[in-house]
Structure 1
Amino acid sequence: MSTSNPDHIKGLLITALGVLFIVPDSLMVRLIDTDGATVAFWKSLVVGLVTGLAILIWQGPRAFRTTFGAGWPVWIYAICAGASGALFVIAVAHTSIANVVFIIAAMPLVSALFSRIALGERLSRRTAITMAVVPVGIGLIAFGSGETEGASLTGDLIALGVVCVFSLGLTAARSVRPVSVVPAIPAGMLLWALILLPFADPMSVPPGDWIWVALHGGFFIAMSTALLAIGPRFLPSAEVALLMLIESVLAPILAWVVVDEDPGLYALVGGAIVIVTLGISNLVALVQGRRVAVRPAMRP
């Protein structure tokens, strides 16, 4: 598709903006000085309320009826979207931001594997080669967690859990195309806010950190959710995947600059293997004109 196409340009700008809004996600978790379960609770609650209200205003109750009328795959997506959002916060609370975002960058590959198993979708040779190389980078990241301050194998495994859970949700969403599963997101977030409540201490947030709570869920995540639900409709999936890699590059840099979080040599080398491999893979897909899309193109 030519970049002179107005729809393509619109999709490019909206998706890129959505990715930029999600870049501070992990940093916000660091800036809120309380435990991971409490941050995850507030993120789930605020995102659920804000996105749910926005959908009611712009689309009305019918949007929810249409989405959930598609059956059990939508409920699976809702549960997985809420769970992965909470697990992302807990992963950041237990390991370095660089480790989390580099591991999560592999999500399209796991989603493709799940779609192959559950839906019978074919894996291209390009995807198979990428799947063989990316685990090398993730292995280096995990190996270095014992050497890097602030990183841990526990947090890395939780990040891997995020990848698996959300990939399962995306596979469920693919099974009900072309129904939009976006209205399922607030339902999943609010469900997980309830699940997290017994493990959280909502009022333990320091007075000066409430601004980060509001910005985290009510602005940055809500905006990225909306933009990443709209923009990728106008782009090839490989182009969306390339844009999503922006977060994997910028989030560790932002954490390094703002909170002086050194990702460590192993994370940098392993992350470079993951990002470069995925980047080359998606560039090849663009050249070949592939359009095998994972919808919605979101991140937990």
Structure 2
Amino acid sequence: MTELASPASAADAGSSARATRRGALLVFFSALLWSLGGAIARYIEAPDPWAVIFWRSLWAAAFLIAYMVWRDGWRGAMRLFRDMGLPGLAVAACFATASTCFVVALSHTTVANILLIQAGVPLIAALFGWIALREKVSGGTWVAIFFVIVGVAVMVSESLGGSVSPIGDGLALAITCALATATVITRRFAHVRMTPATCLGTIFAALLALTQASLLEASGRDMVFLFAFGVLNLGLGLACFATGARMIPAAMAALLGTFETILGPVWVWLAHAEVPSGRTLIGGGIVFAALLVHIAREFRRHSQPRRPGVTGLPAPN
């Protein structure tokens, strides 16, 4: 005879489903906000990219500090910064590198090149995890990593022929490696909170830009876009992701994050008529297909019922 679920268990299931829907919506919204970065940056007329980095990072840091104080209070926010330790500093350094390289890369290559190379972050993180932590990598993931490398090689090959600046593609690769490293560190030190670490990263980026910028002045028009670039694109996008990603499986967060790669080049094409080259589309298609196949395999693996006696996922090696 089938037992009816208790009211408490039904309520817990409903609460869990609502949390999952809310988390998925927040992560999707973060990807949507991040996808606007290239289009917003193309509206900024300031000639010095270091000035753009400074103002973007400053606005993002101000927003994230205000968000943490609103959420946790001054003491709670200070405790989060204090508890990060060396792993948090390393994640902050990675994020500062990625956000700085993104702005500079925009001066040398297309938004599509940057985002499509960056799409390989989850798979490059798996490769780095195997190298640094000896985490087990499945055969299917190795195949996906191989195709990501092939796809990136196709895109980067344009710079070898002189049609695209090698600096731009090199910076896009640096972004991918920095974000993949941050992913591995965060996975290894699960207690590291993303919001304070990345907030510190924006402060690092602003301080670096302050030493490099030749002129920090910006027109009123530019400041409006710099505010949007820092607060909406970077700060609010990060706050939504940090909140939502804790409520959903990692594979779902990775899948929703692909909307940044899909939508980013579309906004730039619609707003600025920036059309990706043929090699970018081919190489990016290879990278994107490898990522989607990998995520689909992760979904299928996690959705399979566990065998009797299995109480949890295996611990990392």
- Same-fold status (TM-score > 0.5): yes
CA distance in structure 1 between the aligned counterparts of 2:80 and 2:221, rounded to whole angstroms: 41
Read off the aligned partner of 1:22 and give its amino acid letter: W
CA distance in structure 2 between the aligned counterparts of 1:68 and 1:115, rounded to whole angstroms: 26
Find 2:167's aligned residue among 144, 147, 154. 154
Find 1:244's aligned residue among 249, 254, 257. 257
Aligned match of 1:289: 302
Contact 1:68 1:184 in 2 (8 A): no
1:198 aligns with 2:211: yes
After TM superposition, list the pairs within 5 Å mapping 1:80-159 onto structure 2: 80-145=94-159, 151-159=164-172
- Note the residue ranges of structure 1 that are not aligned, 5 or more in a row: 293-300
Aligned match of 1:72: 86
Contact 2:87 2:192 in 1 (8 A): no
Read off the aligned partner of 2:267 and give its amino acid letter: L
1:264 aligns with 2:277: yes
1:20 aligns with 2:32: yes
Read off the aligned partner of 2:205 and give its amino acid letter: W
Read off the aligned partner of 2:208 and give its amino acid letter: I
Q: CA deviation at 1:203?
A: 3.5
Indicate how the Cα distance of structure 1 residues 238 and 122 shifts in structure 2: closer, same or farther if over 3 A, else same.
Answer: same
Indicate how the Cα distance of structure 1 residues 289 and 162 shifts in structure 2: closer, same or farther if over 3 A, else same.
Answer: same
CA distance in structure 2 between the aligned counterparts of 1:148 and 1:257, rounded to whole angstroms: 26
- Provide TM-score, normalisation by structure 1: 0.89
Contact 1:103 1:160 in 2 (8 A): yes
- Provide TM-score, normalisation by structure 2: 0.85
Larger deviation, residues 197-206 vs 13-22:
197-206
Q: CA deviation at 1:8?
A: 1.9
CA distance in structure 2 between the aligned counterparts of 1:229 and 1:270, rounded to whole angstroms: 30
Contact 2:91 2:185 in 1 (8 A): yes
Q: CA deviation at 1:206?
A: 3.4
- Write out per-residue CA displacement over residues 65-106 of structure 1, whole angstroms, 9 at most, x where no aligned residue: 245324211111111112211111111221111100001111
Contact 1:140 1:266 in 2 (8 A): yes
Larger Rg: 2
Instruction: Calculate the aligned-residue CA RMSD, in Å.
Output: 2.3
Q: CA deviation at 1:148?
A: 8.6
- Write out per-residue CA displacement over residues 159-208 of structure 1, whole angstroms, 9 at most, x where no aligned residue: 10111122222222222213423212222211221111121145343332
Contact 2:88 2:193 in 1 (8 A): no
CA distance in structure 1 between the aligned counterparts of 2:162 and 2:232, rounded to whole angstroms: 32
- Write out per-residue CA displacement over residues 126-159 of structure 1, whole angstroms, 9 at most, x where no aligned residue: 211100111111111111346696x422100011
Number of corresponding residues:
290
Aligned match of 1:10: 22
Contact 1:32 1:205 in 2 (8 A): no
Indicate how the Cα distance of structure 1 residues 261 and 146 shifts in structure 2: closer, same or farther if over 3 A, else same.
Answer: farther
Q: CA deviation at 1:55?
A: 0.6
CA distance in structure 2 between the aligned counterparts of 1:148 and 1:259, rounded to whole angstroms: 23
Contact 1:182 1:229 in 2 (8 A): yes
Aligned match of 2:6: none
1:52 aligns with 2:65: yes
CA distance in structure 2 between the aligned counterparts of 1:127 and 1:54, rounded to whole angstroms: 37
List 4+ stretches of structure 1 deviating above 3 A.
Answer: 145-149, 201-204
- Write out per-residue CA displacement over residues 204-254 of structure 1, whole angstroms, 9 at most, x where no aligned residue: 433322210111102222111111001111222122111111111111111
Larger deviation, residues 209-218 vs 29-38:
29-38
Contact 1:148 1:264 in 2 (8 A): no
